[in-house]
Amino acid sequence: MLANYLIGLREGLEASIVVGILIAYLVKVSRRDVLPRIWVGVGLATVLSLGLGALLTFGKYGLSFQAQEIIGGGLSIVAVGFVTTMTFWMAKTANHMKHDLQSSLAKALAGGAWAIVGLAFLSVGREGIETALFVWATVSTAGGTALPAIGALLGIVSAVVIEIGIYRGFVHLNLARFFTITGFFLVIVAAGVLLYGIGDLQEAGVIPGVGHYAFDISAAIPPTSWYGTLLQGLVNFTPRPTWLQSAVWVVYLAIVLPLFFRATRRRSPADPIAQRSTPEPVLTTGAPE
């Protein structure tokens, strides 16, 4: 549940920051009349994300066990790809996200109502789709319980509250540090989701290696124990991985973690995101620029 709370918090805060930047810019250029179009785009993105979550949850019922494992394993790997890509994207583009969004919104204002709706839809929908896929993958690894989804929902609600506080000037948050810490944690969680995705594909017979376990510590850490459940909820721990699962887990972390650290270290101490509590349009002063 904690892992999904942080997923919802991080992705929800990213989406909230985007919306805050768009709103602040419209207020700045005295175009409050366009605000309803932003909210239409946000609403459509929310509906798409919820619809995708519902489809993933209920769409596989009635399928054979093999088909469910193939879909589950494949989508878990896709979710890992989404999360990894977006984690690096935020580390790379956070410094100039304000300028990019303002430039896109200026073009959308010239393009008409649908262009503005489309910008808000794509900006928020990207985060929503990523969250839906990743939360579904972690729910699947947790045996279908509702706790991971509840954790993600609480994270999203917390993100909205934090963003409102940032915009009004009540909350000061070092976003550079926040996205670095949560990005590191999401990479660890993604490695666990990838491990389970490989396991699902092995169970379906798509890739070999099922039953060939690298080690078995289920006697020391029973999956049903409180600490086994805690580890599974935090990092998708499994006490009995196959050799292929173990190899993929190690290779993923050995490649992604050093690259992530390098991406975050490229941020100069003089960069605005490292000096300010939030990107400029998401105001800490309580008033538009």
User: For each successive 10 residues of the chain (289 residues), what is the average pLDDT?
Assistant: 75 82 82 86 88 75 75 86 83 70 80 80 82 76 63 84 78 75 86 89 87 87 77 77 93 93 67 41 37
CA 196 → CA 6, 7, 256, distances in Å?
20, 18, 18
Please choose, from the candidates 55, 83, 71, the residue with its C-alpha nearest in 3D space to the C-alpha of residue 201: 71
Write down the domain spans for the chain: 2-275
Please choose, from the candidates 127, 134, 123, the residue with its C-alpha nearest in 3D space to the C-alpha of residue 77: 134
Looking at residue 253, its pLDDT comes to 94
Looking at residue 247, its pLDDT comes to 94
Tokens of 205: 């017979």
Is 197:77 a contact under the CB 8 Å cutoff? yes
210: three-class secondary structure by DSSP: coil
Looking at residue 151, its pLDDT comes to 77
What is the Cα–Cα distance from 194 to 282, expressed in whole angstroms?
34
Looking at residue 244, its pLDDT comes to 92
Looking at residue 174, its pLDDT comes to 73
242: three-class secondary structure by DSSP: strand
Q: What is the pTM of this model?
A: 0.72
Which residues have C-beta within 8 Å of that of residue 278, sequence separation ≥ 6?
Answer: 17, 166, 172, 173, 175, 284
